[in-house]
């Protein structure tokens, strides 16, 4: 032991300094305000995933010295927000006369503006020497018309013996504010009809949106509708590990409405065949969707329709060609998926594979034609959904490691680690979501090309977008490969830059943004959300307590009873979710006893507030009307709650045996929802009345959720 305290392990201080240099946080604060130190092994693993050549803490001092050498003339990305006086840094060798340095802005619209650095200077200070060279740090502002128009502009710095450049992101101060409104939530795989193929379709989603609009609502929400791996060598049923965040899921295409059936007699014969109709009837009656079987059935028809269209010279063929011309990523996606099927394995296992390259002969044209066509008709039908009622779309935090996006944009992703969450009360062991994180520095160097493309793809058809795990705009929990989720560390991102991109793209699309800010949330995240005009997520199941059974949601929020990861109201009200977590080992019996007592106290508090016994239906009705009449900007109603469904759509942390994201509704659309005398429609009319300023209580006692 040395004087002043215990000896530090060799390289410990240098390792933490190195971690900080690359944005890796060596400690974090839990949801219950405990400070946790990240272990050496975790820091080394995360640094290695970032591309730092480290395998042991003892290497940290040398690597730190190398990281601190050199300097950037200018950062690769600069931010300008409307109404803000942002100051930027420029580092020049002291020998360079700043009067001979010029800044050139090439605006997004093609116009060019040149200014001498001296006319933009704000301050200067000695900052050297660096690597033995004296340098001066200058501070400047982009004033007047320089990059004042929202958009992506290019800045060039030129002077004696130096050139440098940066992307300038000029963004509005805030994104669009949605009108006060409400909507419904319906997992599309779960929607049942008299004629479905084992899942709902974009037609039913459009009808639900139109129905909701007719009741006074403004949007219909669902689980992510992005392209999935549901057949072939990679199978992943979770919509939160999509095959791509740049493509749509053809699983939900309404095949029987496609115009190409008129020119495809073979497809019509197959559709009408006894065996095919019998197969569809079996899929329709399953309690859980067989996603792969449903897609296989649809693909049989879609392939025939794609072939028929390819042989035609119709206006539809011209429209498809125009769609592909506008979206070159669709052609790349089609060839990628075709190669995955032809070679019988994910791209990470292709012999001699390189990202962005298709092995010779692997992109079978028949398969390519199918994937092109499937993307086009999915886009067409989703466009119709958006036109018939607002769409509330969910944007997952990542994509499947074997998916199209890491293949097309390899530098955007870090390998050797996955994204998740640290231990908390929701998941005591932590979470690993099985997606690779974006590389914070590489996406900057690439001018945020991939994140911009992801946002544009979803914003194009939405009226409201939910950003899953919005804390990822600030930091993400990285778990090094081979380690447990609890052994990860937070990696910081350039939040000002990612937020500016988000606000700019949302403003251009005219789309409101909701951030999913549940779990461990730093105060700075919610402060930034308020500044950006981004709505918070208020979840009643987390907020309600016995001493406050009807908490008011914040005004700048989307309020809901639960989320897709939480128990439905009837199960939560009865405390069934507690026993379910004990069964799965996610909650110990002692903690379960405490939770059951808390839940019972909450039920008693609700009954006291209502002044009468609180049946599940009465409690649900009171809660929905409370949320609807409250200050939240938006309210989301899960349709399954309206008939007191108890079985959840997802049990986080479990495998396929639980049937996650596959359980079907026990009610049918439209018969069991649309009728005026049925609870769903009646309750939603009350919700609309409360949203519009009425009490919503007239006739409320005659409405029985779960009844007929």
pLDDT at 696: 52
Is pLDDT at 419 greater than 50 in this prediction? yes
Three-class secondary structure of residue 521 per DSSP:
coil
My answer on whether 86 and 204 are in the same domain is: no
Does some domain include residue 230?
A: yes
When computed from its CA atoms, the radius of gyration of the chain, rounded to whole angstroms, is 28
CB count within 10 Å of CB 666 equals: 14
My answer on whether 85 and 59 are in the same domain is: no
Residue in the structure block whose two tokens are 């429209």: 319
Tell me the pLDDT tens digit for each residue of 232-277.
888 899 999 999 999 999 999 999 999 999 999 999 999 999 999 9
pLDDT at 132: 66
Does some domain include residue 7?
A: no
Please state the rounded mean pLDDT for residues 160-167. 94
Tell me the pLDDT tens digit for each residue of 2-13.
334 344 444 579
Distance CA 2, CA 207 (A): 74
Does some domain include residue 431?
A: no
Tell me the pLDDT tens digit for each residue of 620-675.
999 999 999 999 999 999 999 999 999 999 998 888 889 999 999 999 999 999 87
Q: Is 376 exposed, middle or buried (0-12, 13-18, 19+ CB in 10 A)?
A: buried
Is pLDDT at 695 greater than 80 in this prediction? no
pLDDT band at residue 530 using 50, 70 and 90 as cut-offs: very high
Structure tokens at 501: 């991109």
CB 42 within 8 A of CB 485: no
pTM of the complete model: 0.94
Does some domain include residue 32?
A: yes
Q: Of 569, 537, 417, nearest to 470 (Cα)?
A: 537
Query: Helix crossing, 328-343 with 365-388: angle to 10°?
Result: 130
pLDDT at 675: 76
Is pLDDT at 708 greater than 60 in this prediction? no
My answer on whether 518 and 643 are in the same domain is: yes
Does some domain include residue 176?
A: no
Report the DSSP pairing between strands 512-515 and 464-467.
Answer: parallel
- Please state the domain count of the chain: 3
Query: Could you tell me what percent of the chain has a pLDDT over 90?
Result: 82
Is pLDDT at 56 greater than 70 in this prediction? yes
pLDDT at 2: 38
Distance of alpha carbon 612 from the chain centroid: 42
pLDDT at 677: 65
Domain that holds residue 138: 77-171
My answer on whether 276 and 228 are in the same domain is: yes
Residue in the structure block whose two tokens are 């409370």: 626
CB 120 within 8 A of CB 98: no
Give the domain CATH number at 543.
3.20.20.80
Distance CA 302, CA 283 (A): 18
My answer on whether 359 and 276 are in the same domain is: yes
My answer on whether 140 and 187 are in the same domain is: no
My answer on whether 63 and 90 are in the same domain is: no
Does some domain include residue 426?
A: no
Q: Which helix (H) or strand (E) holds 151?
A: strand 151-159
pLDDT at 355: 86
My answer on whether 27 and 152 are in the same domain is: no
Please state the rounded mean pLDDT for residues 467-481. 97
- Among 22, 42, 68, give the residue marking a domain's end: 68
My answer on whether 676 and 544 are in the same domain is: yes
My answer on whether 243 and 148 are in the same domain is: no
Is pLDDT at 700 greater than 60 in this prediction? no
């Amino acid at each position: 032991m040395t004087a002043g305290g215990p000896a530090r392990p060799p390289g410990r201080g240098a390792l933490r300094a190195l971690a900080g240099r690359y944005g890796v946080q060596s400690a974090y604060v839990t949801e219950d305000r405990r400070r946790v130190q990240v272990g050496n092994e975790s820091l080394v693993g995360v640094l290695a995933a970032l591309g730092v050549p480290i395998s042991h803490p003892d290497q940290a001092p040398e690597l730190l010295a190398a990281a601190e050498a050199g300097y950037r003339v200018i950062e690769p990305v600069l931010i300008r927000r409307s109404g803000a006086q942002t100051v930027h840094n420029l580092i020049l060798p002291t020998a360079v006369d700043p009067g001979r340095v010029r800044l050139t802005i090439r605006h997004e619209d093609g116009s060019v503006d040149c200014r001498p650095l001296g006319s933009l200077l704000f301050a200067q200070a000695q900052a050297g020497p660096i690597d033995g060279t004296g340098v001066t740090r200058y501070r400047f502002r982009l004033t007047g018309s320089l990059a004042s128009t929202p958009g992506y502009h290019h800045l060039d710095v030129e002077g004696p013996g130096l050139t440098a450049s940066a992307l300038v992101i000029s963004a509005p101060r805030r994104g669009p504010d949605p009108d006060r409104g409400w909507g419904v939530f319906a997992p599309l795989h779960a929607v049942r009809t008299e004629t479905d193929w084992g899942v709902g379709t974009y037609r039913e989603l459009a009808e639900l949106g139109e129905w909701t609009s007719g009741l006074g609502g403004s949007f219909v929400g669902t689980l992510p509708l992005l392209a999935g791996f549901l057949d072939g060598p990679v199978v992943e049923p979770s919509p939160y590990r999509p095959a791509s965040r740049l493509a749509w899921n053809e699983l939900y295409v309404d095949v029987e409405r496609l115009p190409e059936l008129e020119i495809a007699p073979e497809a019509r014969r197959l559709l009408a065949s006894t065996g095919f109709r019998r197969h569809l009837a079996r899929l329709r009656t399953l309690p859980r969707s067989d996603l792969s079987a449903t897609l296989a059935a649809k693909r049989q028809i879609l392939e025939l329709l794609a072939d028929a269209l390819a042989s035609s010279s119709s206006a539809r063929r011209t429209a498809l060609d125009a769609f592909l011309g506008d979206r070159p990523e669709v052609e790349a996606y089609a060839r990628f998926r075709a190669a995955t099927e032809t070679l019988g394995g994910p791209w990470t296992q292709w012999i001699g594979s390189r990202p962005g390259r298709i092995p010779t002969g692997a992109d079978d044209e028949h398969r390519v034609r199918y994937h092109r066509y499937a993307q086009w008709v999915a886009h067409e039908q989703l466009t119709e959904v958006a036109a018939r009622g607002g769409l509330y779309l969910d944007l997952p935090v990542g994509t499947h490691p074997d998916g199209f996006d890491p293949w097309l944009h390899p530098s955007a992703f870090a390998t050797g680690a996955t994204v998740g969450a640290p231990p908390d009360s929701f998941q005591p062991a932590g979470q690993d979501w099985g997606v690779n994180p974006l590389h914070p520095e590489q996406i900057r160097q690439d001018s945020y090309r991939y994140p911009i493309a992801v946002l544009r793809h979803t914003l194009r058809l939405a009226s409201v977008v939910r950003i899953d795990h919005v804390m990822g705009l600030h930091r993400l929990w990285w778990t090094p490969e081979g380690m447990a989720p609890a052994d990860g560390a937070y990696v910081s991102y350039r939040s000002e830059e990612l937020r500016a991109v988000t606000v700019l793209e949302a403003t251009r699309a005219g789309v409101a943004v909701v951030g999913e800010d549940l779990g461990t949330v730093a105060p700075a995240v919610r402060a930034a959300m308020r500044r950006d005009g981004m709505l918070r997520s208020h979840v009643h199941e987390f907020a309600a307590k016995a001493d406050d059974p009807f908490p008011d949601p914040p005004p700048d929020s989307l309020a809901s009873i639960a989320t897709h990861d939480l128990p439905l109201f009837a199960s939560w009200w009865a405390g069934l979710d507690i026993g379910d977590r004990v069964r799965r080992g996610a909650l110990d019996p002692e903690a379960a006893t405490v939770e059951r007592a808390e839940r019972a106290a909450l039920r008693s508090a609700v009954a006291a507030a209502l002044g009468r016994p609180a049946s599940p239906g009465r409690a649900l009705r009171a809660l929905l009307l409370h949320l609807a009449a409250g200050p939240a900007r938006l309210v989301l109603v899960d349709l399954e709650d309206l008939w007191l469904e108890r079985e959840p759509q997802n049990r986080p942390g479990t495998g396929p045996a639980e049937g996650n994201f596959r359980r079907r509704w026990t009610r049918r659309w439209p018969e069991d929802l649309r009728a005026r005398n049925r609870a769903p429609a009646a309750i939603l009319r009350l919700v609309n009345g409360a949203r519009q300023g009425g009490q919503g209580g007239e006739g409320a006692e005659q409405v029985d959720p779960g009844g007929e």
